[in-house]
Structure 1
Amino acid sequence: MTGKHLVLQTLKKKGVKYIFGYTGGAIMPIFDEMDKIGDFNFIMARHEQGAAFMAQGISRASLSTDTPQIGVCLTTSGPGAMNLATGIADAYMDSVPLVAITGQVATGVIATDAFQESDVVGVMMPICKQTYMPLCADDIELMVHEAFYVATTGRGGPVVLDIPKDVQDQKVSDDYSFDANTFRPYLPGFFYHPTPEREPLQRAIQLINRSERPIMFCGHGIINSNAGKLLQKFAEKVNIPIAFTLHGLSALPSDHRLSLGMMGMHGTVEANKAIMEADLLISFGMRFDDRVTGKLNEYARNADVIHVEIDPSEIDKNVGTTVAINADVYRTLHVLVNDPMLTYKPRRRWFESIADFRQVMAEDLKEEIDSGVGENNRLLMKSIVHNLSQLSGGKDLIVPDVGQHQMMAARFYSYQTENSWFASGGAGTMGVSLPMAIGVKMARPDERVWSISGDGGFQMNIQELGTIMEHQIDIKILIFNNGHLGMVRQWQTLFFDRRYAGTPMKSPDYGLIAQAYGIPYRKVEKTEEIIPALQYAIDNQGAIVLEFICDPSEVILPMVPAGGGFEDMIVKRPIPREPSTNNNGEDS
Structure 2
Amino acid sequence: MHTTRTGAKYIADYFKQREVTHVFFMDAILRRALIEMEDVGITRVLAHSEAAAAYMADGYARVSGRPGICMAQSVGAANLAAGLQDAYLHRSPVLAITGRKPPGYRNRHAYQEIDHAPLYQPVTKFHADVEDPAELRLMLDQAFRAMTSGAPRPAHLDLTGLQGELVETADINDTLDIDPRYNKVPAFRPPASADDIHHMAEMFAASCRPMLVAGAGAMHSKAARAIAEFAERYSIPVATSTGGHGCLPTDHPLHVGIVGNYSSPPANYLLDRADLVIFVGSEVSDQTTMDWTIPGLEVPKIQIDIDPAEAGRNYPAIYAVAADPRDTIEALQKAMADQQRYTSWADEVRSAVSQWQKAADELADSQAVPIGAQALCKAVGDALPDNAILVGDTGFSAIWSGNAIALRGAGQTYLRAAGSLGWAFPAALGAQCAAPERPVICFTGDGALYYHIAELETARRRNLPVVVVVNNNSAFGQALGNVRRLLGERDGNIDEMIRFGPTNFADVAQAFGVDAIRVERPGDLANAIGKAIAMRRPVLVDAVTDMESKVPEPWRRTR
Paired position in structure 2 for 1:384:
376
Q: Deviations over 1:321-360 (max 9, x none)?
A: 4421011112211211322555132441x23432453366
Bigger mean CA deviation after superposition, 237-246 or 118-127: 118-127
Paired position in structure 2 for 1:86:
82
Task: Kindly report which structure 2 residues correspond to 1:424-439, keeping only aligned pairs within 5 A, or say none.
Answer: 424-425=417-418, 428-439=419-430
Q: 1:255 aligned to 2:251?
A: yes
Distance in 1 between residues matched to 2:199 and 2:226, nearest whole Å: 20
Distance in 1 between residues matched to 2:141 and 2:294, nearest whole Å: 46
Aligned residues of 2:16 and 2:40 also touching (Cα < 8 A): no
The residue identity in structure 1 corresponding to 2:54 is A
Distance in 2 between residues matched to 1:503 and 1:56, nearest whole Å: 29
Q: Deviations over 1:234-256 (max 9, x none)?
A: 11122210001101111222211
Number of paired residues? Answer: 544
Paired position in structure 2 for 1:491:
482
Paired position in structure 2 for 1:357:
352
Paired position in structure 2 for 1:529:
524
Aligned residues of 2:390 and 2:440 also touching (Cα < 8 A): yes
Distance in 2 between residues matched to 1:360 and 1:475, nearest whole Å: 34
Q: CA deviation at 1:17?
A: 1.5
Equivalent residue in structure 2 for 1:61, among 60, 63, 68: 63
Closer, same or farther: CA 213–464 of 1 in aligned 2, 3 Å:
same
SS at match of 1:521: strand
Distance in 2 between residues matched to 1:57 and 1:285, nearest whole Å: 19
The residue identity in structure 1 corresponding to 2:470 is I
TM-score by length of 1: 0.87
Paired position in structure 1 for 2:27:
23
Paired position in structure 2 for 1:129:
125
Paired position in structure 2 for 1:14:
18
TM-score by length of 2: 0.91
Q: CA deviation at 1:497?
A: 3.1
Aligned residues of 1:20 and 1:72 also touching (Cα < 8 A): yes
Q: CA deviation at 1:476?
A: 0.8
Paired position in structure 2 for 1:440:
431
Q: CA deviation at 1:116?
A: 2.2
Aligned residues of 2:250 and 2:257 also touching (Cα < 8 A): yes
Distance in 2 between residues matched to 1:543 and 1:99, nearest whole Å: 27
Aligned residues of 2:367 and 2:523 also touching (Cα < 8 A): no
Distance in 2 between residues matched to 1:359 and 1:15, nearest whole Å: 44
The residue identity in structure 1 corresponding to 2:200 is A
Aligned residues of 1:472 and 1:543 also touching (Cα < 8 A): yes
Q: CA deviation at 1:285?
A: 0.4
- Segments of structure 2 that go 5 or more residues without pairing to the other structure are none
Q: CA deviation at 1:516?
A: 1.6
Q: 1:160 aligned to 2:151?
A: no
Q: CA deviation at 1:286?
A: 0.3
SS at match of 2:74: coil
SS at match of 2:246: coil
Paired position in structure 2 for 1:572:
none
Q: CA deviation at 1:551?
A: 0.6
The residue identity in structure 2 corresponding to 1:47 is S
- Segments of structure 1 that go 5 or more residues without pairing to the other structure are 64-68, 569-588
Closer, same or farther: CA 33–118 of 1 in aligned 2, 3 Å:
farther
Q: CA deviation at 1:158?
A: 0.6
Q: Deviations over 1:204-241 (max 9, x none)?
A: 10111221111111111111011111111111122210
Q: CA deviation at 1:181?
A: 4.9
The residue identity in structure 1 corresponding to 2:56 is M
Closer, same or farther: CA 357–120 of 1 in aligned 2, 3 Å:
same
Closer, same or farther: CA 238–320 of 1 in aligned 2, 3 Å:
farther
Paired position in structure 1 for 2:170:
171
Aligned residues of 1:209 and 1:342 also touching (Cα < 8 A): no
Bigger mean CA deviation after superposition, 39-48 or 358-367: 358-367
Task: Kindly report which structure 2 residues correspond to 1:98-497, keeping only aligned pairs within 5 A, or say none.
Answer: 98-165=94-161, 167-169=166-168, 171-172=170-171, 176-178=173-175, 180-181=177-178, 193-297=189-293, 299-348=295-344, 350-358=345-353, 361-373=356-368, 377-392=369-384, 395-415=387-407, 416-418=409-411, 420-425=413-418, 428-493=419-484, 496-497=487-488
Paired position in structure 2 for 1:509:
504
Distance in 2 between residues matched to 1:183 and 1:543, nearest whole Å: 34
Bigger mean CA deviation after superposition, 156-165 or 298-307: 298-307
Closer, same or farther: CA 248–420 of 1 in aligned 2, 3 Å:
same
Bigger mean CA deviation after superposition, 123-132 or 319-328: 319-328
Paired position in structure 1 for 2:71:
74
Closer, same or farther: CA 342–200 of 1 in aligned 2, 3 Å:
farther
Q: Structure 1 vs Structure 2: percent identity of aligned residues?
A: 23
SS at match of 2:400: helix
Q: CA deviation at 1:494?
A: 5.2
